């Protein structure tokens, strides 16, 4: 594993040719807090990640594995693409629409449409993203 990498434990749910599908339970930062049941802020979700690897044949359904980003900068890139750029698009469209003289309600709607368009383009480019954001998978020993 990469030193200082973002890592998550998971379970292999499917193996196809050179792809291993791993189900992970990813928790928020406060998911480990003892007060999370009271405040309701702590939440976790199950995610399935497709890990492309030449050693896919070495994995079987049910194996416990650890998945990490190949480089820490890939995690930062993911955050920028998923959160920072859409915020910039939202603000730019909102401010641009208001500056042109559009009503606030229409400007807000246009901002949301702008963000939806951004995510649609990101979805269409997902094939290119798979080539730039790579994961490393290792079996966990018990």
pLDDT tens per residue across all 142 residues of the chain = 445 567 888 999 999 988 999 998 766 555 555 544 544 445 567 888 888 888 888 899 999 999 887 666 677 888 899 899 999 999 999 999 999 999 999 999 999 999 999 999 999 998 887 767 778 888 887 6
Angle between helices 85-100 and 104-124 (to 10 degrees): 150
Edge-to-edge, what's the strand order for the sheet holding 64-69? 44-52, 19-27, 7-16, 64-69, 135-139
CA–CA separation, 98 and 96 (whole Å): 6
Q: Is residue 7 within 8 Å of 68, Cβ to Cβ?
A: yes
Q: Residue 22: count other Cβ atoms within 10 Å of its Cβ.
A: 24
């Amino acid at each position: 594993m990469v030193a200082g990498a973002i890592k998550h434990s998971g379970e292999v749910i499917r193996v196809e040719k050179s792809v291993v599908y791993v189900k992970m339970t990813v928790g928020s930062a406060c998911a480990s807090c003892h007060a999370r049941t009271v405040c309701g802020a702590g939440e976790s979700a199950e995610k399935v990640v497709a890990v492309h690897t030449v050693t896919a044949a070495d994995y079987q359904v049910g194996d416990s594995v650890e998945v990490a980003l190949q480089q820490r900068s890939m995690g930062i890139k993911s955050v920028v693409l998923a959160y920072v750029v859409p915020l910039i698009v939202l603000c730019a469209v909102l401010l641009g629409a208001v500056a042109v003289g559009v009503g606030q309600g229409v400007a807000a709607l246009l901002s949301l449409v702008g963000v939806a368009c951004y995510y649609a383009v990101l979805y269409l480019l997902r094939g290119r993203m798979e080539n730039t954001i790579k994961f490393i998978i290792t079996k966990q020993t018990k």
